């Protein structure tokens, strides 16, 4: 609970009964619950809805004071949550599956993205339309995704040795300059960066290609959830309203990120384009149950696929990792 600053008990008592009687009723309301949230990346548009909620007072209305801690290169965000530095956080589902498989006591309670924008992007003039068409090509890909790609290549009848895989960075310029034939990244982020540079893209979404996964997945430590169910539901309820506002007000949200809440050096045009491109993944057909919903069936399919390629070893199930009770309660009214 947040303490009232610079006011001792003795000073408060000295103020007298008359001063107490003059205070408005709201002053006696419950002090806002502070909830620390570990972002998996720097403060940018992929978190735009959260900051819109702060600006519009949606968290305050729910009695929540959110604190969003920036992530970025070299920060083990899941470890920070596990160590209690933050109560909650966001990560791609694969990272949370691995964490739980290794015994880290986290639970998935929601997801900003209802479908992952993770994609293999290629120039529209030389499109790669399927996994099979990667044969003989050079692909920029994170090392962590290599085992899964190899399995997908095998299923497509392609020898993995025929695909030249190079390490991927966060700047997709390697594709724009022609150094690679394809680049793995988020079509909502790196894809928009490329389009704003004038690159006409073909996008092969990895979920559509047969690799179910989610990003922007909301998770928390089990002990926090056990001891703070009401605060968790209120945080989710405020976040649902916040993301709804952000998606409905992209121009205003872009201004908030660039001018107030985002990290230094954000480009407004890129931030705005990212939010507009993200809308179909956050509030498109996959979001039939409502914003921030979590579908354990997607997580189960990913678990099984990761187990088949040796990325996890235990008998972990989605039922152990996901807990829908909080998002269900957050969507209820009355």
Q: Are 33 and 231 in contact (CB under 8 A)?
A: yes
Q: How far apart are CA 46 and CA 19, in angstroms?
A: 46
pLDDT one-digit tens code per residue, 113-126: 999 999 999 999 99
Same domain, 123 and 260: no
Task: Assess if residue 52 is contained within a domain.
Answer: yes
pLDDT one-digit tens code per residue, 204-223: 999 999 999 999 999 999 99
Strand partners, 202: 122
Encoding tokens for residue 160?
Answer: 């993995």
**Domain assignment of residue 246, given as a range:** 31-115+214-331
Classify burial at 216, counting beta carbons within 10 Å of its beta carbon; exposed 0-12, middle 13-18, buried 19 or more: buried
Higher pLDDT, 113 or 22: 113
pLDDT at 15 over 60: no
Q: Using DSSP, state whether 43 is helix, strand or coil.
A: coil
Same domain, 199 and 286: no
Place 89 in a pLDDT band, splitting at 50, 70 and 90.
very high
Task: Assess if residue 276 is contained within a domain.
Answer: yes
Residue 168 is predicted with a pLDDT of 84
Same domain, 175 and 284: no
Encoding tokens for residue 26?
Answer: 């709201």
Residue 333 is predicted with a pLDDT of 60
Same domain, 261 and 288: yes
Q: How far apart are the first and last CA of the chain?
A: 26
The average pLDDT across 256-284 equals 95
Task: Assess if residue 147 is contained within a domain.
Answer: yes
Place 8 in a pLDDT band, splitting at 50, 70 and 90.
very low
Same domain, 186 and 303: no
Same domain, 80 and 101: yes
Q: Percentage of the chain with pLDDT > 70?
A: 90
Residue where one domain finishes, among candidates 205, 234, 256: 205
Same domain, 41 and 133: no
Residue 144 is predicted with a pLDDT of 84
pLDDT one-digit tens code per residue, 26-57: 333 457 899 999 999 999 999 999 999 999 99
Total domains in the chain come to 2
Q: How far apart are CA 115 and CA 188, in angstroms?
A: 12
Q: What is the mean pLDDT of the chain?
A: 90
Residue where one domain finishes, among candidates 188, 205, 222: 205
Same domain, 55 and 71: yes
Residue 30 is predicted with a pLDDT of 56
Residue 20 is predicted with a pLDDT of 32
Q: How far apart are CA 283 and CA 57, in angstroms?
A: 22
Same domain, 200 and 276: no
Same domain, 223 and 96: yes
Integer Rg of the chain from CA: 22
Global confidence as pTM: 0.88
Same domain, 80 and 160: no
Residue 38 is predicted with a pLDDT of 98
Task: Assess if residue 5 is contained within a domain.
Answer: no
Q: Are 196 and 270 in contact (CB under 8 A)?
A: yes
Residue 160 is predicted with a pLDDT of 94
* CATH at 160: 3.40.190.10
Task: Assess if residue 13 is contained within a domain.
Answer: no
Residue where one domain finishes, among candidates 156, 180, 205: 205
């Amino acid at each position: 609970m947040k303490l009232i600053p610079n006011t001792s008990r003795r000073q408060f008592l000295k103020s007298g009964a008359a001063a107490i009687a003059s205070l408005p009723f709201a002053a006696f309301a419950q002090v806002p619950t502070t909830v620390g949230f570990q972002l998996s990346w720097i403060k940018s548009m992929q978190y735009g809805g959260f900051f819109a909620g702060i600006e519009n007072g949606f968290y305050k209305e729910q009695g929540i004071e959110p604190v969003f801690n920036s992530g970025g290169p070299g920060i083990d965000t899941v470890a920070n949550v596990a160590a209690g530095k933050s109560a909650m956080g966001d990560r791609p589902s694969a990272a949370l599956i691995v964490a739980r498989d290794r015994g880290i006591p986290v639970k998935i309670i929601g997801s900003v993205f209802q479908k992952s924008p993770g994609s293999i992007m290629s120039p529209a003039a030389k499109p790669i339309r399927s996994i099979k068409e990667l044969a003989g090509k050079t692909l920029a890909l994170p090392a962590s995704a290599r085992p899964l790609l190899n399995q997908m290549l095998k299923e497509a009848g392609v020898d993995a040795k025929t695909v030249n895989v190079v390490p991927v960075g966060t700047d997709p310029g390697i594709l724009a300059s022609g150094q690679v034939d394809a680049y793995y990244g988020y079509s909502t982020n790196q894809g928009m960066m490329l389009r704003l540079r004038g690159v006409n893209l073909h996008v092969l979404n990895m979920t559509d290609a047969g690799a179910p996964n989610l990003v922007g997945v909301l998770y928390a430590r089990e002990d926090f959830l056990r001891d703070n169910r009401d605060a968790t539901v209120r945080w989710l309820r405020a976040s649902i309203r916040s993301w709804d506002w952000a998606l409905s007000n992209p121009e205003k949200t872009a201004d908030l990120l660039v001018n107030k809440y985002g990290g230094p050096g954000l480009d407004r045009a890129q931030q705005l384009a990212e939010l507009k491109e993200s809308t179909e993944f956050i509030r498109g057909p996959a979001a039939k149950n409502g914003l921030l919903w979590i579908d354990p069936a997607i997580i189960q399919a990913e678990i099984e696929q990761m187990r088949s390629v040796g990325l996890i070893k235990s008998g972990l199930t989605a039922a152990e990792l996901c807990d829908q009770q909080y998002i269900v309660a957050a969507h209820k009214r009355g």
